[in-house]
C-alpha cells in the first residue's frame, strides 16, 4: 500500500486535507506546533486558508466563523491553548457548529512542561467551557489513526453538527510512523439549510442566545437527545488479546501503545493480560467496560498519564460491580511496559 513516513501531527493535517477541510486557524504551541506548520505548508497549495491567529482565543473564534459559513475547519493546540479556546468551543457547541480541534496533550497544570501527558481528559470530556454541552472525543494512538480519525472527526462533526476533539498526547503527535494515505472524500455534506454563505438563500442566523428560559431548556434537551444518539451509535473500541484475558488493562493514546508492549512481556511470563482501548472517549464505551465485570476477571487496571481522570469514568461504567485499579504516570513521564507488568504481578499475584 502506498505510504509515507510522517509525524502524527502532520498526519492530522493530511487527514484534514483529505476530508475536504478548507481552513486552518491556529496558534503555535509545543508539542502541537507541527500541525500549524504542516497546515501552513499544505493548505496554500490547495488554495485553502491557513491563518496564524493572534491568539488561541482568536483562533477558535475564527473556527466558529468558518464553521458558521459551512466550511470544514480545523484548529490544533495543547493544554494551555485548549484552556483559552474553551469559551469558543462552548459557543460552537451552543450554536451547533461542526468543527475539529486537535489537542496534543502536554504536562500540566499551569505551564507544566512540554512532555507527553493526558491531563486534559477532564477539561475536554467534562466541559471545560461553560454550560450544558458535550463534544465528541476521538483518541488516536498512531500516526495512521491521527490521519484516519481526523477524517472521521470531520464526518462526525457534520453528522451531528457538533465540535469534535482529536485528543492525544505529545508522543503520538511527535512520533513518525508510516501512514497509508486514504482516498480523499468525494462529496461534502450539504449545509445549505443553516450555513451562511453571503447569498440571498443563506441569510441564516448562527447564534447561541435563547433569552426565554423555556426556549433555552428546550434547546438543552435537544442537545441531550443528540448526545444520547451519539452515545448509542458512535462508541468505538479496540480489543487486544481479550479472548482469554484474566486481567484487563484499559488505556488510550500513548498508554495503549505501551500496554501492547506490556501484554507481549506479560504473555511471555504466562500472564493472561488483555487490553480494552477506548477509541472514542465521548461516547465513552460504558457498556463494553460494564460487561467486563461479568467475565470473572482477576482484575481491571486502568493505565493513564493523568491523575486518575480516566479511571473515574471506568469505575462509573463498572457501576460498583468491580473496581478498577490505577497505574498512572504524570509530569511528562510515559509508563514503561516493564513497570506495568511488574505492577500487574504485584496487584493480582500473578
Partner 1 sequence: MIMAQKTVLRKPLGFIDVYKHKPGAEKDRTHYCPGCGHGILHKLIAEALEDFDIVDRTIVISPVGCSVFAYYYFHTGNLQVPHGRAPAVATSVSRANPDSIVISYQGDGDLAAIGGNNILQAANRGENMVVFFVNNAIYGMTGGQMAPTTLEGQKTTTTPYGRNVKTDGYPIQVCEIINQLTAPVYVVRTSLHDMPNIRKTRAAVRKAIQNTRDKKGFSFVEVLSMCPSGWKMDSVPAQKWIEENMIPRFPLDTFRDISEDTSAIERPVPVMDPEEVKRILEYTALSDSNLEKNPDAAFDRVAVRIAGFGGQGIMSTGIALANVGMEYGYNVSWLPSYGPEMRGGTANCSVKIQADTIGASECTEPNMVIAMNQPSLEKFEKILVPGGALIYNTTLIDIEPSRTDLKVYPIPITGIADELGDTRVQSMVNVGAFAAVTGMFDPGEIENLMPSLFKGKSGEVMKLNEKAVRKGYEYVKENFS
Which span sits near partner 1 by CB under 8 A: 118-126, 151-159, 161-169, 335-343?
Answer: 335-343
- Contacting partner 1 (CB under 8 A), which of 11, 12, 18, 279? 18
184 makes contact with partner 1 (CB under 8 A): yes
Nearest distance from C-beta of residue 311 to partner 1, angstroms: 20
- For partner 1, the binding residues in 83-122 under the rule CB under 8 A are 87-88, 91, 95, 113-115
List all residues 6 or more positions away from 200 whose beta carbon is below 8 Å from its beta carbon. none
Of the candidates 3, 126, 218, 221, which one interacts with partner 1 according to CB under 8 A? 3
Cα 125 to Cα 70, 136, 310: the distances in Å are 25, 8, 10
Closer to partner 1 by Cβ: residue 94 or 119: 94
Tell me the C-alpha distance between 91 and 168, whole Å.
Answer: 23
271 binds partner 1 (CB under 8 A): no
Q: Does residue number 299 form part of the binding site for partner 1 (CB under 8 A)? A: no
Return the number of the residue (197 or 348) whose C-beta is nearest partner 1: 197
Task: Confirm or reject binding of residue 15 to partner 1 (CB under 8 A).
Answer: no
Please tell me whether residue 176 adopts helix, strand or coil conformation: strand
Within positions 189 to 228, which residues make up the interface with partner 1, using CB under 8 A?
Answer: 196-200, 202-209, 211-212
C-alpha–C-alpha distance, residues 258 and 273, integer Å: 13
Q: How far is the CB of 4 from partner 1 (least distance, A)?
A: 5
Q: By CB under 8 A, tell whether 235 contacts partner 1.
A: no
Residue closer to partner 1 (CB basis): 5 or 229: 5
Site string for partner 1, 49-88 (x = CB under 8 A): x-x-xxx-xxx-xxxxxx-xxxx-x-------------xx
Nearest residue (CB) to partner 1, 42 versus 297: 42
Q: What is the 3-state secondary structure (H, E, C) of 29-91?
A: CCCCHHHHHHHHHHHHHHCCEEEECCCHHHHHHHHHHHHHCCCCEEEEECHHHHHHHHHHHHH
- Taking CB under 8 A as the binding criterion, the range among 20-28, 158-166, 304-312, 322-330 that sits at the site for partner 1 is 20-28
Crossing angle of helices 56-68/79-94, nearest 10°? 30
The C-alpha cell that represents 3 in the structure block: 505510504
Nearest by Cα to 172 from 78, 276, 257: 257
Closest CA to 143 of 288, 343, 3: 3
Task: Please report how close the Cβ of residue 48 comes to partner 1 at its closest, in angstroms.
Answer: 5
188 is a site residue for partner 1 (CB under 8 A): yes
> How far, in Å, CA of 296 to CA of 165, rounded?
34
* Pairing label, strands 163-169, 176-180: unpaired
- Name residues contacting partner 1, limited to 239-268 (CB under 8 A): 254, 257-264
Give yes or no for residue 320 binding partner 1 (CB under 8 A). no
How far apart (Å, rounded) are the C-alpha atoms in residues 312 and 318? 10
Minimum CB distance to partner 1 smaller for 203 or for 349: 203
Asked if residue 293 binds partner 1 (CB under 8 A), the reply is: no
Amino acid at each position: 500500500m502506498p505510504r509515507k513516513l510522517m509525524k502524527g501531527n502532520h498526519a492530522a493535517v493530511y487527514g484534514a486535507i483529505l476530508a475536504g477541510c478548507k481552513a486552518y486557524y491556529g496558534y503555535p504551541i509545543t508539542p502541537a506546533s507541527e500541525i500549524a506548520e504542516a497546515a501552513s505548508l499544505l493548505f496554500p497549495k490547495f488554495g485553502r486558508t491557513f491563518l496564524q491567529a493572534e491568539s488561541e482565543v482568536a483562533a477558535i473564534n475564527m473556527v466558529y466563523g468558518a464553521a458558521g459559513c459551512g466550511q470544514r475547519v480545523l484548529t490544533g493546540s495543547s493544554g494551555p491553548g485548549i484552556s483559552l479556546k474553551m469559551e469558543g468551543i462552548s459557543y460552537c457547541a451552543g450554536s451547533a457548529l461542526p468543527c475539529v480541534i486537535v489537542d496534543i496533550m502536554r504536562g500540566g497544570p499551569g505551564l507544566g512542561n512540554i512532555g507527553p501527558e493526558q491531563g486534559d481528559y477532564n477539561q475536554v470530556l467534562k466541559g471545560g467551557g461553560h454550560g450544558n454541552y458535550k463534544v465528541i472525543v476521538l483518541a488516536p494512538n498512531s500516526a495512521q489513526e491521527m490521519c484516519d480519525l481526523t477524517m472521521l472527526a470531520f464526518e462526525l462533526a457534520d453528522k451531528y453538527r457538533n465540535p469534535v476533539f482529536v485528543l492525544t498526547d505529545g508522543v503520538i503527535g511527535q512520533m513518525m510512523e508510516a501512514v497509508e494515505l486514504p482516498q480523499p472524500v468525494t462529496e461534502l455534506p450539504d449545509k445549505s439549510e443553516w450555513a451562511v454563505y453571503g447569498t440571498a438563500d443563506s441569510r441564516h442566523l448562527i447564534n447561541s442566545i435563547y433569552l426565554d428560559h423555556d426556549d433555552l431548556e428546550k434547546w438543552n434537551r435537544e442537545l441531550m437527545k443528540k448526545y444520547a444518539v451519539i452515545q448509542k451509535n458512535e462508541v468505538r473500541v479496540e480489543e487486544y488479546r481479550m479472548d482469554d484475558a484474566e486481567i484487563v488493562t484499559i488505556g488510550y493514546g500513548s498508554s495503549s501503545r505501551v500496554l501492547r508492549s506490556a501484554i507481549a512481556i506479560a504473555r511471555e511470563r504466562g500472564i493472561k493480560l488483555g487490553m480494552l482501548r477506548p477509541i472514542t472517549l465521548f461516547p465513552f464505551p460504558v457498556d463494553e467496560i460494564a460487561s467486563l465485570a461479568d467475565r470473572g476477571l482477576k482484575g481491571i487496571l486502568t493505565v493513564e498519564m493523568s491523575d486518575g481522570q480516566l479511571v473515574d469514568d471506568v469505575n462509573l461504567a463498572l457501576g460498583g460491580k468491580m473496581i478498577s485499579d490505577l497505574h498512572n504516570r504524570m509530569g511528562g513521564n510515559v509508563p514503561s511496559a516493564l513497570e506495568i507488568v511488574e505492577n500487574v504481578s504485584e496487584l493480582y499475584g500473578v
